[in-house]
Each structure stands twice: as structure tokens, then as C-alpha cells.
Amino acid sequence: MKNLLKIFAISSLLILSACNTIEGAGKDVGSVGDCADGVKGNC
């Protein structure tokens, strides 16, 4: 039972960290799109 709890805790942490990484990547892609539109001051 303890091993199952450890596995659950570790997998939960990995999933949460992946969500933060995906959100950050989405923001980066969005900022590149803002830069590419050619409007002065977006970069």
C-alpha cells in the first residue's frame, strides 16, 4: 500500500509540472506570434 501511495504522489507531481511547462510553452508561442505581426512595440 505504501508503494502505491508513493507512485501516486510521484505521478501527481510529474503531471502538475508538465501542466506548468505546457502553459509556459503556450505563452512563448503566443508572444512569438505577437512579434511576428509587425506591430511596433509587440516584441
Model confidence pLDDT, tens digit, residues 1-43: 788 888 888 887 777 676 667 777 777 777 777 776 766 766 6
Residue 12, CA distances (Å) to 5, 8, 36, 39, 41 in order? 10, 6, 37, 41, 40
C-alpha cell at 2: 505504501
pLDDT of residue 9: 86
pTM flag (> 0.85): no
pLDDT of residue 19: 67
